[in-house]
Structure 1
Amino acid sequence: MSTPAPKALGFWMCCALVVGNMIGSGVFMLPASLAPYGWNGVLGWIVTIAGGLCLAFVFARLAAALPREGGPYAYTQEAFGPTAGFIVAWAYWISLWVGNAAIAAGAVSYLSVLVPAIAKVPGLHALVTLSLIWGLIGVNCFGAKLAGEVQVVTTLLKLLPLAAVLGLSAWLLTRSGSTALAAPLRVSELGGQSLVAASALTLWALLGLESATVPADKVKDPARTIPRATLFGAAFTGVIYLLVCSAVVLLSPADALKGSNAPIAEFVGRFWGSGAAMAVAAFAAISAFGALNGWVLLQGEMPYAMARGGVFPAFLGKASPRGTPVRAHLVSGAFLTVLVAMNYAKSMAELFTFIALLATTASLFTYLACALAALKLQRDGRVPGSRLLTMIAILAGLYAVFTLFGAGKEAVLWGLVLLAAGIPAHLLMRRAARA
């Protein structure tokens, strides 16, 4: 009889997984995407943080009641049955490997500040991106404990450039007051489509708040550890995002940010020189590297959990002697490689924005389903009931619908196409099960 693999992820590693997955390339790349929206970008952050905390609360309650591997897939299947569980798991899995392409693009974008040839040589950024991805797939195939240790170290390192941005912003505002603002506040311009679009973009940066729920079988005391890590990680990261991104957008001319491959490095460099900009770029690349490490862990764990649940081919549910889902990692990595190769001709900024919106859209379907699952499981008595959970789950569902509108027709259409692609796979799996 084989000995079960030890549970390698404690509270701080789970916190690092949540914070590390959320603080990735988003905080370092989004100022360029949010530049046209000005103060609507700030308001978008507030809306997104409120919605994200609602979602985090829902995931925390679900994880406490049902501490099972697979996270969103497990909750939806428990509430609505295997077909709904499959669709949500398929959408979430797509959001994982699609999102990893955007995170890797962000990492390489900042590396191009240190190695200019990456941006100048056609197609080189795609090769560097794929090398980074497959290197981290190798780390995760070696074992969850190693991946967790890498996550803790990179999470601590990625906070340093964000602290530098906050210090610089505080110095500018103390020295010059409101005259330092490049984007004046005009109340009449707040709201409308600009706010909806900004809210959709900012959600990309909060994707990952459910990260600790996915590898539940590798977490120590999951019923207690996962909810605490989820709520703490989401709240901490939301505050960091609001302060850092808002400072860069409001204290920089919009024209200086649009299309920038390294907006935060350029912001610091404008006041502290090229040496500081290079240092920030290096730490930003480490930040995205750490986030990619955590997301690569999840892109292997999700199909592994689905296969063990009987909704994905059984060969993906086999673990290595180290207890890692090597086969699932390799399949996810193959899809990710195809996506990057198909878009190698895009600039790094274009690649990031397009894939970020696509990953956000796929995640929103998952978040909406989990909010509805919380209501259903509470009604059925399988999750402890409370008026607070009912209210917050409704708000989380409304927030998901609101943000879908902001993602735009193209991203939503592509999201629906990718969802529809999972239906034939599900039908084939059902036919194989009956046979």
Structure 2
Amino acid sequence: MTSHVAPPPVAAQQEPGQQKGSSTQAGAGAPQGPHTRRFGLPIATCLVMGNIIGGGIFLLPASVAPFGSISLVAFGVLTVGAVALALVFGRLAERLPRTGGPYVYARAAFGDFAGFLAAWSYWITAWVSNAALAVAAVGYLGVLFPAVAEHRWTMCLAALAVQWLPAAANLAGTRYVGAVQLVATVLKFAPLLLVAVGGLFFFDPANLGPFRATGDSALGAVSASAAILLFSYLGVESAAVSAGEVRDPARNVGRATVLGTVGAAVVYLLGTLSVFGLVPHDALVDSKAPFSDAVDAMFGGSWGGTVVACAAVISVLGALNGWTLLSAQTPYAAARDGLFPQVFASRRRGVPVVGVVVTVALASALTVYNYTAGSAGVFEVLVLVTTFTATVPYLLATAAQIYFLASGRADQVHRGRLVRDAALSVLAFGFSMWLVAGSGYAAVYQGVLFLFAGVLVYAVMAARKQRRTA
């Protein structure tokens, strides 16, 4: 790697709009105790991998099977974009190793309003996605405990329990968050790797089916399958958002982001390829549990469903454990800067307690509404909104990196690295724009409404901040 001049210490950096001694350096010097512990590289990597890979992987092969094996090409293209985005987050974390991730980067480059939009969008994404993950977990719990699926209220209670158990781990302190994340990541990857790696030994090319199963052109088939796969990599920013809780963030956040993203990509690609080669194409198109069918094809019997259901529940719990922490970190950082209500800035045992409780309460309310009203359509629209709101922080963060490089604030890096960073930033920005396009017109429309609702909140918070400094 080309040598370069190290950036100045965090304490010496001051961005536009940041007052001296501002709490933008969230997490720096955070109080330590028996219940708090900064994440090392392994835990930070598990946080990234665990948040990228939730419960959706267990349905992905069946979801893209109708397009044919050309969907693997779409997966490869998406992986390149996701790794580029991960590398950009790593470089940004070196420059600004602070809790808040995209919020911190957008605010440093473009000021308070852009920072608020990043925080607001990310917060919406987190708590709506948490509700969706919990509801998805109920289907897997129904396989293990049939009584759960007998009535909508037992399903609702199960979904609430799935949300509050990870919240309890978060409220216990960052020490326990890291422990749960490590255990969940190891347990859920065991069966996934069994299929992803072991399945290659049972691979039958005859099961792949047609390369292009639809009448679309090759480009159209790739785009159509990519629309389903696009959001498989949401979560690459996980380590950056929690930078204040990572030891030596300028060094470890970037590494964890890249390692976690590449690790998730390997599991995604090998797992999907193995399932394609284990389950006949016609059966895979109609499969409700493709990984279960793959395990059954490898070893015979019908125990694959139970194994995959256990892995899926563990996977969702691990994802919720990480996303619950992330959902509180961004409003915490914004509250420290006076852009969110100050109550979100409270912290206990290294965890933004109010942010965790409010986020889980909102997700729980949405869950109860979903089961009470039976409004699956409304709930699905809200979930689609998250696919748009998640890309807003990505776009702002990659634009911030382009701004830093174009404005000459490149920390005197070698010209070769400057060109490389610029190319990666442009690629990551294009990838983020593709995410926006793939979310669909309805989701973009609804997402913009959510963003505009946040403008009112910003107006109130900015006015309060102005009165305090006047």
Query: 1:145-181 deviations in whole A, cap 9, x for unaligned?
Result: 11001111111111111122225532332xxx42122
Is 1:278 the counterpart of 2:309? The answer is no
The Cα of 1:182 is off from its aligned counterpart by: 3.9
Matching of residue 171 in structure 1 with residue 198 in structure 2: no
Q: Are residues 1:64 and 2:91 paired?
A: no
Q: Does 2:317 match 1:293?
A: no
Q: Is 1:92 paired with 2:122?
A: yes
Superposed displacement of residue 383, structure 1 = 4.1
TM-score normalised by L of structure 1 = 0.91
Give the distance between the partners of 1:373 and 1:279, measured in 2 at CA: 44
**Could you say if the C-alpha distance between residues 260 and 179 of structure 1 is closer, same or farther in structure 2, counting changes exceeding 3 Å?**
closer
Question: Which residue pairs with 1:125 in the alignment?
Answer: 155
Task: State the alpha-carbon separation in 1 of the partners of residues 286 and 393 from structure 2.
Answer: 30
Deviation at 1:43, TM superposition (A): 2.0
1:417 deviates by: 1.7
Q: Is the 8 A contact 2:279 2:293 kept in 1?
A: no
* Greater alpha carbon shift after TM alignment, 138-147 vs 164-173: 164-173
Aligned to 2:370: 343
Question: For the residues of structure 2 that align with 1:338 and 1:217, how far apart are their CA atoms?
Answer: 30
Aligned partners of 1:417 and 1:257: how far apart in 2?
Answer: 38
Distance 1:216 1:132, change over 3 A: same
TM-score (norm 2): 0.84
- 2 CA distance for matches of 1:259 and 1:305? 45
Partners in 1 of 2:77 and 2:124 — Cα distance? Answer: 25
Cα pair 2:214 2:221 within 8 Å, conserved: no
**Larger gyration radius, structure 1 or structure 2:** 2
Alignment partner of 2:192: what SS?
helix
Cα distance change on mapping 1:378 and 1:167 into 2, 3 Å = closer
Letter in 2 for 1:274: S
Q: Deviations over 1:208-258 (max 9, x none)?
A: 111011122211111001111111111111111012124335654566556
Give 1:425 shift: 0.6
C-alpha contact (below 8 Å) 1:158/1:283 kept by paired residues: yes
- Describe how 1:7-156 pairs up with structure 2 within 5 A: 7-156=37-186
CA distance in 1, matches of 2:131, 2:272: 22
Are 1:392 and 2:420 an aligned pair? no
Q: 1:280: Cα distance to partner?
A: 2.0
- Aligned mate of 1:368, from 395, 410, 431: 395
Per-residue deviation at 1:22?
1.2
Structure 1 residue 266: Cα displacement = 3.8
Rate the CA distance shift 1:420–1:348 in 2: closer, same or farther, 3 A. closer
Structure 2 CA distance for partners of 1:194 and 1:179, relative to 1, 3 Å: closer
Q: Which residue of 2 aligns with 1:157?
A: 187
Matched residue type, 1:245: T
In structure 1, the partner of 2:359 is 332
| Aligned AA (2:166) | L
In the alignment, the residues of structure 2 paired with residue 119 and residue 346 of structure 1 have an alpha-carbon distance, to the nearest angstrom, of 17
Change beyond 3 A, Cα 1:257–1:307? farther
Match of 2:434 among 396, 402, 415: 402
CA distance, structure 1, for counterparts of residue 291 and residue 124 of structure 2: 29
The answer (yes or no) to whether the contact 2:239–2:256 under 8 Å persists in 1 is: yes
Is contact 2:388-2:443 (8 Å) kept? Answer: yes
Is the contact between residue 30 and residue 350 of structure 2 (CA under 8 Å) also seen in structure 1?
no
Whether the aligned pair in 2 keeps the contact of 1:199 and 1:403 (CA below 8 Å) is: no
How far apart, in 1, do the equivalents of 2:126 and 2:379 lie? 14
Candidates 318, 321, 346, aligned match of 2:346: 318
Q: Which residue of 1 aligns with 2:463?
A: 431
Give the Å deviation of 1:259.
7.6
Distance change >3 Å, CA 285–CA 307, structure 1 → 2: same
For residue 306 of structure 1, the aligned residue among 319, 326, 334 is 334
- Once superposed, which parts of structure 1, at least 4 consecutive aligned residues long, lie more than 6 Å away? 345-353
- SS of 1:39 mapped into structure 2: coil
Q: 2:275 aligns with which of 230, 248, 251?
A: 248
Measured after TM superposition, the shift of residue 190 of structure 1 is 5.1
C-alpha displacement at 1:394, in angstroms?
A: 0.7
Where 1:73 maps in the other structure, the secondary structure is helix
Q: 1:315 and 1:46, CA in 2 relative to 1: closer, same or farther beyond 3 A?
A: same
Report the equivalent of 1:378: 405
Q: In the alignment, is the contact (CA less than 8 A) between 2:99 and 2:242 conserved in 1?
A: yes
Cα separation, 2, equivalents of 1:388 and 1:225: 20
Asked whether the 8 Å contact 2:61–2:272 carries over to 1, the reply is yes
* SS at structure 1 position matched to 2:335: helix
Match for residue 181 of structure 1? 208
* 2:173–2:350 Cα contact (<8 Å) kept: yes
Separation of aligned partners in 2, 1:130 and 1:377:
43
Distance 1:371 1:7 in 2: 30
Q: CA distance change for structure 1 residues 185 and 200 in 2, over 3 Å: closer, same or farther?
A: closer
Instruction: State whether residues 197 and 407 of structure 1, in contact with CA within 8 Å, keep that contact through their aligned partners in structure 2.
Output: no
Q: Does residue 359 of the first structure (1) align with residue 391 of the second (2)?
A: no
> CA 1:250 to 1:106, structure 2 compared with 1: closer, same or farther past 3 Å?
farther
Structure 1 residues 279 and 49, CA, compared in 2 at 3 Å: closer, same or farther? same
Structure 2 portions without partners, runs of 5+: 1-28
Moved more, 402-411 or 267-276: 267-276
Equivalent residue letter for 1:103? L
Q: CA deviation at 1:65?
A: 1.0
Work out whether 1:232 is the aligned partner of 2:285.
no
Given that 1:203 and 1:360 are in contact with CA atoms closer than 8 Å, whether structure 2 keeps it comes out as no
Q: Return closer, same or farther for 1:44/1:345 CA change in 2, 3 Å cut-off.
A: farther
Structure 1 unpaired stretches of 5+: none
Q: What amino acid maps onto 1:407 in structure 2?
A: S
| AA partner of residue 88 (structure 1) | A
Let me know the Cα RMSD of the aligned residues: 2.7
Aligned length: 430
